[in-house]
Amino acid sequence: MRLLLSLVLTFVLAGAANAAGPKLLWETKGLAQPESVAHDPVTDVLYVSNINGAVMQKDGNGFITRLKPDGTIIERQWVKGLNAPTGLAVRDRTLYVADVDELLEINAASGRIEKRHKAKNAIFLNDVAVAEDGTVYATDTPMNTIWRLKDGTFEPWLTNDDLNGPNGVMVQGDKLIVASFGKMPSNGQKQELAGLLTVSLEDKKVAPLGKGKPVGNLDGLQELKPGVFLVTDWAGGALYRIDSKGKADQLINLNQGSADLTYFPAKKTVVIPMMLDNTLAAYALN
């Protein structure tokens, strides 16, 4: 009987542990409005963009931090003199950085800025994604525009109000997945929540993902597994799992400012910049 009770208790405790949800693994403090994090698979380091000032302001205060995968800072201001850097993407040995109205190409080995692609009339380049063929896409959230860098030409690829404040972006096969920000309440403006969208790379058609139910003021976007995405809600302070039908489940209740995350499938670990807390946090997902 005691053995049976012991086994039952073991299973109950194991179930309770599994039901406890994501667990905080580590937290790095001392950053300055971190907005995006990207992993370099070659050197196994993390890059974090720090706005360090007013968003969209060209003040020269922004910088990029290099960290170990456990959150230890290697070099706080690895690349400095930027303005308000946000979205990051790594391709081969190039780190692409969205910086207000420029897309930067930074040498991932030296930290040297190799190229600057000016986005004429852009207001706020936000997130960056790179396709398999090397084409780079960047969202301009206030202008409802997606820019494209292809064959050395950086130009507006799509402007459509249906994008509803495009923020997070990723390339998936023959389409883009876009996390829309909607609108935050300001100057008497009513808050407008948004969801995930798909954009056809062939005909640029914009459509809701699944039922397209509004979720929040969305920011970071990563694939959890095929057809399922991890998405942060910047205004609501949350991490959501959203499937291809548009069903959203909150995984973590966070502070406001949860931004452009990265995910390690092998470790089932998500790393999230907490912009208003000046921290970077890693969580283990069940």
What's the pLDDT at 213?
Answer: 87
Q: At a CB cut-off of 8 Å and minimum separation 6, what does 33 contact? A: 50, 51, 52, 53, 275, 276, 278
Q: Is residue 7 part of a domain?
A: no
Give me the chain's average pLDDT, please.
93
Q: Is residue 205 part of a domain?
A: yes
The pLDDT tens digits of the residues spanning 223-242 come to 999 999 999 999 999 999 99
Q: Is residue 85 part of a domain?
A: yes
Q: Distances from the Cα of 226 to the Cαs of 148, 171, 230, 236, in angstroms? A: 25, 13, 11, 26
Q: What is the pTM of this model?
A: 0.92
Q: Are 129 and 137 in contact (CB under 8 A)?
A: yes
Write the secondary structure of 128-180 as one string of H (helix), E (strand) and C (coil).
EEECCCCCEEEEECCCCEEEEEECCEEEEEEECHHHCCEEEEEEECCEEEEEE
Phi-psi region of 108 (alpha: psi -120 to 50; beta: other; left: phi over 0): alpha
Q: Is residue 166 part of a domain?
A: yes
Q: Is residue 12 part of a domain?
A: no
Which domain range does residue 176 map to?
Answer: 27-284
Average confidence (pLDDT) over 28-35: 98
Q: At a CB cut-off of 8 Å and minimum separation 6, what does 161 contact? A: 144
Q: Is residue 80 part of a domain?
A: yes
Q: Is residue 78 part of a domain?
A: yes
Q: What is the dihedral of CA 141, 251, 211, 273, to 10 degrees?
A: 10
Q: Distances from the Cα of 76 to the Cαs of 30, 71, 73, 113, 181, in angstroms? A: 9, 12, 6, 17, 29
The pLDDT tens digits of the residues spanning 92-142 come to 999 999 999 999 999 999 999 999 999 999 999 999 999 999 999 999 999
How many structural domains are present in the chain?
1
Spatial separation of the C-alpha atoms in residues 6 and 4, rounded to whole Å: 5
Average confidence (pLDDT) over 194-221: 96
H runs (alpha helix) in the chain? 2-19
Q: Tell me, what CATH number does 233's domain have?
A: 2.120.10.30
Q: Distances from the Cα of 201 to the Cαs of 98, 129, 174, in angstroms? A: 21, 13, 6
Q: Is residue 122 part of a domain?
A: yes
Q: How much of the chain exceeds pLDDT 70, in percent? A: 93
**For the CA atoms of the chain, what is the radius of gyration?**
19
Bridge partners (DSSP) listed for residue 183 = 192
What the block records as the tokens of 92 is: 């081969």
Residue 55 has pLDDT above 90, yes or no: yes
What the block records as the tokens of 231 is: 């998405």
